[in-house]
A and B are shown apart, each in its own frame.
Chain A
């Protein structure tokens, strides 16, 4: 990798074997969880609906994904008007 690449913040190309391993780990999380894309979408929508009742969230940026070891992680950025809502 050249000095120019480093200055421009380009990362060194990974060896394809490493890429293969990372792709496999990612795809197997989903295979093993047996969650369909449709189910993930539904989970995401329902999380947005529930949390929105309590705080203001930036629902365009809510992300639900599977992490290593079979954990479902939801990232829920709060909106600008965040703070507990009074009903």
Chain B
């Protein structure tokens, strides 16, 4: 069941984004394989979220390409990309706070439902069947994230940790092949973080999705990911297994700063 797929789900090549004079993401390449959990790490402002937003279609890349499932996503709008099979969560949670949990998840299914407004006006049998199935599936997803008890509550009333899990259920509702999670454990206590890590792994195993996550909690990154890509100032500075990345000098430098140099190095540097 967990046979590692060899297909490449996401292939990012030479992806660049410039905001005016600032190059937020500078020709980054990386790949995500089927059913793989990948992490995107880097200091604040390294361009991780910008990269996410390009993959999800929120931003138009300045150059480069994103190939998903063998087809380029170039020029597609966010909702088309969701329909293709990329689901996402947001760094600062963006739930529909006035809607119930159930409605939130149902909106997540939007691209998988077909009924036209006319079918809804006439309440055709096909539309009723589709709605019933959608409701059942939404409840299953709420059960998965253990929020089914609050199905009819407004999402805005949920405490923070639950909101993150609801966002995850909502993203899964679109039946993605690739799940983009932007800091899924941000602001969580260790207990909640552990539960989220477990959930992410379970989702990968049960739904067979590939997961690309941005994360600052190194424990989570090392624990969860099979592959790590490190960005700094918009450039990819390292890539590999968590262990490889942990030992990479450039990565250590990016996070902790340059190692203290001997005086002769300083002099040599000054002459150059």
User: Do A and B interact with each other, yes or no?
Assistant: no
Give A contacts to B, CB under 8 Å.
none
Give B contacts to A, CB under 8 Å.
none
